[in-house]
């Protein structure tokens, strides 16, 4: 255990075995290679440790959002192919090529910038062509992508490894938009057949696509939040058996009796009507724990649910044990996870915070030390 874990009672525990099981369950369902999406600090789970673990498991492809994430992984010794999914500026092309990162090319202009950088370095760039089939984020529109695809095929400095798009509504199994996007994507891919060029790896399915739309699996899938054991939406169908890999834990650091009529925390938003026992937990919105849980959230202490009272502070918050509740300094506190047969899921916390699990996970920042479990 490192010094940070020994010092700070608040910690994130990541079950690497759960990530392995989730990855294998997804792969078994789709039957094609799975790109592990590790952007945003691996959805709060820790970029480098998760990448190192997945490389040991033999993952064939990693996806990140930014060049900086890719460079971090290369500097950590990750040799697995890495695709940078986000849009790039021309000045970043050389960095991507130098660090053997695969590049998203989303327009003819971007292609030319990548070609210039590759020629200057004297080495080919590995690219994936990004097609916009309805997301309207980045990517050349599917109905006008022919010239970019033809230019990429004939490029002397670019090697086309993949072509992809992103599904906007696949979290909803009843949405008709996914079928429309798939049709647009197939029309874009048809340019390779028309031009007599080999078809690159086609990847389209995100977590929702994996769960709901087998037609989108194609040659590779890109599950994000599903890989971490969480469904992408309350409407999603659990067609793959996954389990959460992350728990958020802390400990009691202070105990007191608050008298009736004495308010707790900033703004005096909660005042007990009777004497009660209150404990302080050393984590707050400065760590990414939502301030929106003020007077709304709860935690597990000694296997019992207890409510958060008063406003969540930057570094700590208070919990009401009631008139007869018991806790001592050093007692474990579960904010996300299980204790004593009770469970607080990330979905529960997201609903009470009026947000989504994606945001909560990626907000858990580096102030919180992370511990990794790997029992196998």
Question: Which listed residue (143, 254, 266, 328) is catalytic?
Answer: 266
**Tokens 């109905």 label which residue?**
143
Pairing outcome for strands 342-344 and 332-339: antiparallel
Hey, CA dihedral for 39, 45, 47, 53, is it positive or negative? negative
Helix H or strand E encompassing 279? strand 276-281
CA proximity to 38, closest of 75, 80, 3: 80
Residue with tokens 């799975």: 34
**CA 57, chain centre distance (Å):** 19
State the DSSP string of 155-212. Answer: -SSEEEEEEE---SSTTSTT-SHHHHHHHHHHHHHHHHHHTTPPP-EEE---HHHHHH
| Residue closest to 265 by CA, chosen among 328, 308, 304 | 308
Q: Which residue is catalytic, options 39, 110, 113, 130?
A: 39
| d(C-alpha 194, C-alpha 149), whole Å | 11
358 is catalytic: no
Active site positions, annotated: 39, 266
């Amino acid at each position: 255990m490192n010094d940070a874990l020994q010092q700070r009672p608040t910690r994130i525990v990541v079950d690497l075995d759960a990530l392995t099981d989730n990855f294998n369950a997804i792969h078994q369902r789709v039957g094609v290679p799975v790109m592990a999406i590790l952007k945003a600090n691996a959805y709060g789970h820790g970029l480098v440790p998760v990448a190192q673990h997945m490389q040991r498991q033999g993952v064939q492809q990693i996806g990140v959002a930014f060049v900086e994430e890719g460079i971090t992984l290369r500097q950590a010794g990750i040799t697995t192919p890495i695709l940078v999914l986000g849009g790039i500026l021309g000045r970043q092309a050389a960095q991507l090529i130098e660090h053997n990162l695969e590049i998203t090319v989303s327009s003819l202009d971007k292609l030319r910038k990548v070609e210039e950088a590759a020629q200057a370095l004297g080495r080919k760039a590995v690219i994936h062509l990004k097609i916009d089939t309805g997301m309207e984020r980045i990517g050349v529109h599917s109905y006008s992508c022919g010239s970019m695809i033809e230019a990429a095929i004939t490029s002397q400095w670019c090697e086309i490894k993949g072509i992809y798009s992103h599904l906007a509504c696949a979290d909803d199994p009843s949405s008709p938009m996914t079928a429309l996007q798939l049709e647009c994507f197939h029309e874009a891919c048809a340019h390779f057949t028309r031009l007599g060029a080999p078809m690159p790896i086609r990847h389209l399915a995100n977590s929702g696509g994996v769960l709901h739309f087998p037609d989108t699996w194609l040659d590779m899938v890109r599950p994000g939040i599903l890989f971490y054991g969480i469904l992408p939406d309350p409407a999603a169908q659990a067609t793959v058996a996954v389990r959460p890999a992350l728990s958020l834990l802390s400990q009691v650091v202070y105990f007191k009796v608050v008298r009736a009529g004495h308010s707790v925390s900033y703004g005096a938003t909660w005042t007990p009507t009777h004497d009660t026992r209150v404990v302080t937990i050393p984590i707050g919105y400065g760590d990414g724990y939502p301030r929106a849980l003020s007077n709304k959230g709860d935690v597990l202490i000694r296997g019992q649910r207890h409510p958060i009272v008063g406003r969540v502070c930057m570094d700590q918050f208070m919990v009401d044990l009631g008139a007869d509740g018991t806790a001592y300094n050093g007692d474990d506190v579960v904010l996300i996870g299980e204790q004593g047969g009770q469970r607080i899921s990330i979905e529960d916390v997201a609903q009470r915070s009026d947000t989504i699990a994606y945001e909560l996970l990626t907000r858990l920042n580096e102030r919180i030390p992370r511990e990794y479990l790997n029992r196998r």
